[in-house]
Amino acid sequence: MSRALLVAATVLATTPSPALAQTDGGTAAPAPKAAPPPASKVGADTGSTAGQAEPSAGVTSNDPEAMRREFDAKLEAARREMKELREEMRAQAATQSVAQGWQEDWVDEKRKLELVTLDGYLRVRPDLFYRLDLGRAADPAGYQLWGRSPISNAERTNAGVNMRLRVEPTLNISEEVRIHTQIDALDNLVWGSTPDYAFSRNAGNGYWYDRNEFSLFSFSEAPQRSGINSLQDSISVKRVWGEVSTPIGILRLGRMGSHWGLGMQYNDGNGLDNDWGDTVDRVSFTAEPIAGFYITPMLDWNVEGPSSVRLPEGGQPYDTSNSDEVHSYIIAIARRDTESERVAKLDANHTVFNYGVHFTYRVQRNDPIDYYSQPWPGNDGVGVAQSSQIWVQRNALLFIPDLWAKVERKNFRIEAEFAAILGSIQNRALTGGTANSPGLNQSLYVYQFGGVLQGEYRFLNGDLEVGGEVGFASGDDAPGFGNYPRRRGSGADGATGPGDIDGPQYRCSSLGGCTDDTIKNYRFNRDYRVDMILYREILGSVTDSLYVKPKAKYRITQGFDVFASLIWSRAIFVGSTPGGAAGQDANLGVEINAGARYETEDGFFAQLQYGILFPLGGFAQRDALNQAVTLDNAQALRGLFGIRF
């Protein structure tokens, strides 16, 4: 590179200014040929205070043609020098195998963007949970609010650390074409959960498996291997999708995240403290027919059923039936500002008013339930008979409207989302073998509604925020909350009974019809965070509930905030609560959360939160002597540390 700089400096130092022009790339190039100006105007054109251009060595000032020839010669020599330098650098790069791009000319002036950009984060989360079982015994179906220690019932504190590395590379094929990916490594891995000693006793004899007889001598952790020492592998490719910008809109296709509004119904889980995230196989096209208004039709492949069995000779896998899939036909229409437009409006004391509607029509004819409810064969599917894959003729459909709106000024924000899930399932059979059984194939109907309203007001130039949130999720009068409907209840035919924590929200008899053929409990997305304990950890998400949440946040200095909230929760139906069999109180609890957050401009973040839940009558329970059980307060301490890039 020093040789290139020397050549360029030599050319510039020995060349008069009239002979140079600037290209887009900043490289010196000869000016186009033109007739020499009159001598009286040379000084004005070149900026010379003497009225004439200063002569270069060996060239008289009244011979511009000679000056041009000398410059051309020097420029040609510089080009030869640069060419030799490029050849040397190509050879060196090829030797090191570091770049295919060196096969092209020195620099591709048309590509003005990085080929690969990386985003993501590393997070580490220490957790401590204390008495999250609330002091309750198992419900009538045998389930606990919170898993007890397998060693001692007196051990009611859970502490540990988990981590995740998320990498989101983007391949910029051109300024119009991109490929996005999301890859998680050691996703929510609990520290110390995969020692090299673990799960290796039956792996063989005479090898490293026999190195340690006691776990006490395990000095190393083994990589995660699905089915060996973990339920998932060390590295998981979660999303890959392409994005093409066209003159009329943006085309996206592949496996991608799904998010809308506040994330109550659809949440991509991209927050630093999220665990789940909605991922869909989708084709979408976003157009902006009017400035600020966006229309996005989408098609999702939710369920496709069995694919072809891969035989030893190989071949492209394909979907074996076109009648067993679940497809979603979606249209989203929104008026929204980009982040830069939003900031500009707020800085100018203007109002930001964004809103939209997201509508989904989902349909299924046949359900390959036996295929998905059985473990994947250990032989990678080879030799599995197609006749073993039995379907249920569902003839099901869902309509899912979702409305969202936000009004924001420099000192306040009000944002709301409301959604419904409406539809029917014409056959409720849970196995292919019972699809035609009169007592097991009744029709069910879905009527679910949910909404959330957020608001905040900013004081002290935005340093202090005081606000609140109200959320509602429709309930079902069947016992149990319905967050885990596949759980079998204590009632007849697996239906829930009084006092059950969770289970199916309908009641049908194998001997005849249904006394309850509706599913009415709406469930918030699991990554929509309301609190630290009740909904996040104990119940799984907001359902069959009304909650009110006043909150406040204060910015002590740039990047350092403290915050607190109080959440009061109440069930819609008292019979749905675990305490429904012991009393008539629908109140679930009062929870207090508080914490501090610190984040730097170079990507480091740290957060510490403490929460305490005071359970109320909705969790009441009586012992074998019909005495009221004293409920314990649950506490949680959670840290969040990491680096964002």
In the chain, the N- to C-terminal Cα span, in Å, equals 31
Calculate what percentage of the chain has a pLDDT beyond 70. 79
Residue 437 has what pLDDT? Answer: 84
What is the number of other CB atoms lying within 10 angstroms of the CB of residue 258?
Answer: 21
Q: Of 118-132, 221-235, 520-534, which range is least confident?
A: 221-235
Residue 199 has what pLDDT? Answer: 67
pLDDT at 397 over 90: yes
Residue 18 has what pLDDT? Answer: 36
Sorted by where each begins, the domain ranges of the chain are 2-99
Residue 361 has what pLDDT? Answer: 97
pLDDT at 542 over 90: yes
**DSSP secondary structure string for all residues of 85-148:** HHHHHHHHHHHHT--SGGGS-S--TT--S-SEEEEEEEEEEEEEEE-TTTT----TTS--SSPP
Residue 113 has what pLDDT? Answer: 64
pLDDT digits (tens, 9 = 90+) for 93-135: 443 433 333 233 333 433 456 889 999 999 999 999 999 999 8
| Average pLDDT estimate for 180-205 | 79
Q: Of 57-66, 206-215, 397-406, which range is least confident?
A: 57-66
Residue 211 has what pLDDT? Answer: 66
pLDDT digits (tens, 9 = 90+) for 427-485: 998 888 888 888 888 899 999 999 999 999 999 999 999 999 999 999 999 999 999 99
Asked if residue 361 lies in contact with residue 328, where contact means CB atoms within 8 angstroms, the answer is yes
pLDDT at 34 over 60: no
| Amino acid of residue 224 | Q
Residue 220 has what pLDDT? Answer: 82
Residue 45 has what pLDDT? Answer: 37
pLDDT digits (tens, 9 = 90+) for 607-627: 999 999 999 999 999 888 888
Calculate what percentage of the chain has a pLDDT beyond 90. 57
Distance CA 160, CA 558 (A): 31
The upper half-sphere exposure of residue 192, i.e. CA atoms within 13 Å in the direction of its Cβ, equals: 6
pTM of the model: 0.78
Residue 309 has what pLDDT? Answer: 62
Residue 46 has what pLDDT? Answer: 36
pLDDT digits (tens, 9 = 90+) for 344-391: 999 999 999 999 999 999 999 988 888 777 766 554 544 444 445 578
Residue 9 has what pLDDT? Answer: 46
Residue 83 has what pLDDT? Answer: 66
Residue 305 has what pLDDT? Answer: 80
Residue matched to tokens 């969202």: 404
Residue 455 has what pLDDT? Answer: 97
Give me Rg for the CA atoms of the chain: 33
- Mean per-residue pLDDT of the chain: 82
| Average pLDDT estimate for 6-21 | 41
| Average pLDDT estimate for 586-606 | 96
Residue 323 has what pLDDT? Answer: 83
Confidence category of residue 173, pLDDT binned at 50, 70, 90: very high
**HEC assignment per residue over 490-519:** CCHHHCCCCCCCCCCCCEECCCCCEEECEE
The 10 Å CB-count burial string (b at 16+, else e) for 584-610 is ebbbbbebbbbbebbbeeeeebebebb
What 3-state class would DSSP assign to 447? Answer: strand
Residue 193 has what pLDDT? Answer: 86
| Average pLDDT estimate for 44-73 | 52
- Residue predicted with more confidence, 529 or 372: 529
Residue 389 has what pLDDT? Answer: 54
Residue 29 has what pLDDT? Answer: 37
